[in-house]
């Protein structure tokens, strides 16, 4: 993540806190102390993002934070999350006035005395002398509208898309007025709505007041307006008639990016938005120019992805909230750990990052495995127990299972891995998985060798006649037809011969006896203690043997079509319960190990 002030931006030519070439003025939350003892130092010119499962208290946290930014004693009830909020400023009173004017708060006369628009509320006014006094004394509550903006989900669609005319001897007070008096600002704003929805925003000034409309007239604005211009504006639909997503997107931007206050608080910015717009909004807010400190509560993986994707992103603090235990906990995450989940394409498009918004995660090899084990969890759930809030995610094969689990655990999410038994068929694969999950491969090595010696000793080399028959059965179709990928893979398999692992994968531990069974049993118990659960019956399809398993997708469809998933075997019930028991354990931090993490 980049560090430092953005000196050029969409909205302003330079950081408003830079006066005369030096940083002289700032206002920010300097420290947040949580009830569990966690202390967060939020970046003064960046974003602090609160994430976590649904109903973990993200909105409640923001409602404890927002009023205490300017008044530490503002909270009138026992806090759920925050013990203390400290805010601080830099700069003299004179510099503060200049700084406010740089942000668009120009002064105006009230009975011969200079005033600023705002104060304890945005529509009011404040004498410059009082503003200087409150700034010097640190009585920020009297300067609230100049210092803090809060956007709440339950009020998002109540925002006004119109404004009254005003006395231009006084400064504009409402966002629509800002757009009307600054064509360059309107053009930049319209570019965002065009990117998000394919439509620009216009300010219709031919009505008695000012009204936001969707689209452009295609006619130059002239004063007085021509009949053609009036008609063109009237033909554009008012913003208020648009869908909730369009209106919510515009409402957030009107109150955050036009003239951003030093502190901006936004609850669930993704509300009412589809994933592409949520991602875009995350990118926009992550790139707010100047000294703007943004606090956001979100449960959207798309919004988070947009924040992490921002090309000109500023410092980011990620705090994951968790109420699954006896006491609410706040955990600071390293943004680079989360960004890694997006950096690897296979993980990015498997939506692994959504695991951050659940209490627990189970990683599987494929989407079909996720579907089956999620259904098995539902079928074996104790109806009298609390909702488990567990998500099943896949990594597109075995290779990334353990390392992805390590990354999620490092973010505080209890994570288990489910894999077919043949993960054990290569010592290097087992070693990487065990190391990634915080284990030691040394005591497991003899058992891995015993099992592989047994399986490899069962390899069957085909005869010429047998090979010819198998190839003939594979090569179907006309002589001019090209070889398919499936044909090529099957022929390669025939050339290698039949491995004992194929039979072992189909039969599981039931095909073993003596030392081989003992070794396999020890391995399954040892890996399970690390959160790596190997299928004891061999593979997914072996859980329901009565359904033919030659094609995994057909098998899975039949399992669901016949309702077999609702009647799990005793072994499957026990398997699911072991995973549940593991996920109830506190997460143990696993340090990043460059030798085990996949660099690609």
The tens digit of pLDDT for each residue in 506-530 reads: 889 998 999 999 999 999 999 999 9
Q: Which of 331, 361, 384 is the last residue of a domain?
A: 331
Interval 470-519: pLDDT, tens? 677 767 777 777 877 667 766 666 565 556 788 888 889 998 999 999 99
Q: What are the structure tokens assigned to 159, written together?
A: 């925002």
Q: Is residue 591 part of a domain?
A: no
Burial readout 270-304 (b: 16 or more C-beta within 10 A, e: otherwise) = bbbbeeebbbbbbbbbbbbbbbbbbbbbbbbbbbb
Q: Are residues 295 and 367 in the same domain?
A: no
- Dump the DSSP string for 89-109: EES-HHHHHHHHHHTT--EEE
Q: Are residues 215 and 262 in the same domain?
A: no
Q: Are residues 209 and 91 in the same domain?
A: no
Q: Percent of the chain, pLDDT > 70?
A: 90
Q: Is residue 174 part of a domain?
A: yes
pLDDT (mean) for 151-168: 89
pTM: 0.84
pLDDT at 496: 53
Higher pLDDT, 104 or 541: 541
Q: Are residues 261 and 148 in the same domain?
A: yes
Q: Which of 237, 254, 281 is the last residue of a domain?
A: 237
CA distance 508 to 458: 15
82 pLDDT exceeds 90?
A: yes
Question: pLDDT category, 450, cuts 50, 70, 90?
Answer: very high
Q: Is residue 386 part of a domain?
A: yes
Q: Are residues 61 and 102 in the same domain?
A: yes
pLDDT at 327: 83
Q: Which of 187, 212, 237 is the last residue of a domain?
A: 237
pLDDT at 591: 46
Question: pLDDT category, 12, cuts 50, 70, 90?
Answer: very low
pLDDT at 458: 64
51 pLDDT exceeds 50?
A: yes
Least confident segment among 212-216, 223-227, 413-417, 484-488 = 484-488
Are the beta carbons of 244 and 161 closer than 8 angstroms?
no
Q: Are residues 350 and 207 in the same domain?
A: no
CA distance 149 to 203: 23
Burial readout 112-151 (b: 16 or more C-beta within 10 A, e: otherwise) = eeebbbbbeebeebbebebbeebbeeeebbbbbbbbbbbb
User: Residue 430 is part of which domain span?
Assistant: 335-439+523-583
Higher pLDDT, 497 or 103: 103
Q: Using omega within 30 degrees of 0 as the cis cutoff, is the peptide bond preceding 451 cis?
A: no
Q: Are residues 272 and 148 in the same domain?
A: yes
Q: Are residues 420 and 568 in the same domain?
A: yes
Packing angle between helix 401-410 and helix 335-343, nearest 10 degrees? 150
Higher pLDDT, 42 or 16: 42
pLDDT at 465: 72
CATH for 256: 3.40.50
Interval 348-376: pLDDT, tens? 888 899 999 999 999 999 999 999 999 99
> What single-letter DSSP state applies at residue 318?
E
Interval 571-583: pLDDT, tens? 999 999 999 999 9
Residue 293's SS3 state is: strand
Interval 415-442: pLDDT, tens? 999 999 999 998 999 999 999 999 999 9
Q: What is the mean pLDDT of the chain?
A: 88
pLDDT at 592: 43
Q: Is residue 357 part of a domain?
A: yes
pLDDT (mean) for 112-124: 80
Query: Which phi-psi region, left, alpha or beta, contains residue 450 (left: φ > 0; alpha: ψ -120 to 50)?
Result: alpha
pLDDT at 9: 32
pLDDT (mean) for 555-578: 96
pLDDT (mean) for 210-214: 97
Q: Are residues 283 and 352 in the same domain?
A: no
Q: Are residues 351 and 292 in the same domain?
A: no
Main-chain phi, psi angles of 170, to 5 degrees = -110, 155
Q: What are the structure tokens assigned to 285, written together?
A: 């807010």
pLDDT at 4: 33
pLDDT at 340: 83
pLDDT at 432: 96
Cβ neighbours around 49 below 10 Å, total:
26
Sign of CA dihedral 234, 196, 319, 59: positive
329 forms bridges with which residues in the sheet? 322
6 pLDDT exceeds 50?
A: no
Question: pLDDT category, 540, cuts 50, 70, 90?
Answer: very high
Q: Is residue 545 part of a domain?
A: yes
Q: Is residue 463 part of a domain?
A: no
Q: Are residues 344 and 373 in the same domain?
A: yes
Q: H helices of 25-67, where?
A: 58-65
- How many domains does one find in the chain? 3
Higher pLDDT, 338 or 187: 187
CA distance 570 to 581: 16
Q: Are residues 413 and 344 in the same domain?
A: yes
pLDDT at 460: 54
Q: Is residue 544 part of a domain?
A: yes
Are the beta carbons of 295 and 63 closer than 8 angstroms?
no
């Amino acid at each position: 993540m980049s560090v430092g002030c953005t000196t050029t931006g969409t909205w302003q030519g330079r950081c408003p806190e830079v006066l005369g070439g030096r940083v002289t003025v700032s206002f920010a939350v300097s420290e947040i102390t949580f009830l569990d003892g966690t202390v967060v130092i939020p970046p003064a010119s960046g974003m602090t993002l609160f994430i976590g499962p649904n109903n973990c208290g993200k909105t409640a946290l923001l409602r404890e934070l927002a009023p205490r930014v300017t008044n530490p004693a503002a909270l009138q009830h026992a806090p759920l999350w925050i013990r203390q909020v400290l805010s601080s400023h830099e700069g003299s009173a004179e510099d503060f006035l200049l700084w406010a004017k740089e942000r668009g708060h120009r002064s105006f006369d009230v009975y011969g005395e200079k005033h600023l628009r705002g104060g304890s509320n945005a529509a009011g006014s404040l004498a410059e002398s009082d503003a200087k006094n409150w700034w010097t004394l640190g009585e920020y509550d009297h300067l609230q509208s100049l210092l803090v903006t809060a956007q709440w989900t339950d009020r998002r669609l109540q925002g006004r898309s119109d404004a009254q005319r005003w006395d231009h001897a006084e400064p504009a007070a409402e966002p629509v007025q800002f757009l009307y008096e600054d064509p360059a600002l309107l053009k930049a704003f319209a570019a965002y709505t065009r990117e998000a929805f394919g439509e620009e925003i216009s300010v219709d000034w031919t009505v008695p007041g000012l009204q936001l409309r969707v689209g452009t007239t295609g006619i130059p604005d002239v004063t007085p307006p021509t009949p053609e211009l009036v008609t063109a504006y009237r033909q554009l639909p008012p913003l208020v008639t648009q869908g909730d997503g369009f209106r919510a997107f515009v409402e957030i931007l009107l109150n955050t990016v036009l003239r951003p206050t030093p502190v901006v608080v936004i609850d669930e910015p993704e509300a009412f938005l589809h994933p592409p717009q949520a991602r875009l909004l995350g990118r926009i807010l992550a790139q707010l120019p100047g000294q703007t400190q943004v606090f956001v509560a979100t449960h959207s993986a798309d919004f988070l992805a947009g924040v992490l994707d921002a090309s000109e992103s500023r410092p980011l603090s990620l705090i994951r909230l968790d109420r699954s235990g006896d006491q609410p906990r706040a955990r600071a995450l390293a943004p680079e750990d989360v960004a890694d989940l997006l950096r690897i394409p296979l993980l990015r498009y498997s939506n692994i990052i959504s695991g951050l918004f659940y209490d627990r995660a189970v990683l599987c090899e494929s989407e079909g495995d996720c579907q089956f084990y999620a259904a098995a969890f539902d079928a074996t759930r104790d109806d009298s127990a609390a909702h488990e809030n567990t998500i099943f995610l896949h990594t597109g094969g075995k290779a990334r299972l353990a390392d992805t689990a390590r990354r999620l655990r490092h973010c505080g999410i209890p994570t288990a891995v489910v894999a077919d038994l043949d993960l054990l068929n290569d010592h290097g694969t087992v070693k990487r998985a065990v190391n990634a999950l915080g284990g030691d491969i040394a005591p497991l090595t003899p058992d891995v060798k015993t099992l592989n010696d047994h399986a490899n000793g069962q390899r069957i080399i085909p005869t010429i006649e047998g090979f010819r028959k198998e190839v003939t059965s594979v090569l179907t179709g006309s002589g001019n037809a090209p070889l398919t990928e499936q044909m090529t893979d099957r022929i390669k398999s025939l050339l290698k011969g039949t491995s004992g692992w194929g039979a072992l994968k189909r039969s599981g531990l039931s095909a073993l006896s003596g030392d081989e069974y003992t070794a396999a049993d020890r391995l399954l118990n040892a890996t399970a203690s690390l959160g790596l659960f190997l299928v004891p019956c061999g593979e997914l399809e072996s859980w329901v043997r009565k359904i033919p398993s030659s094609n995994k997708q057909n098998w899975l469809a039949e399992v669901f079509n016949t309702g077999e998933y609702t009647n799990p075997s005793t072994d499957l019930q026990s398997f699911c319960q072991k995973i549940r028991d593991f996920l109830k354990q506190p997460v143990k931090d696993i340090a990043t190990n460059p030798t085990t993490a996949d660099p690609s």
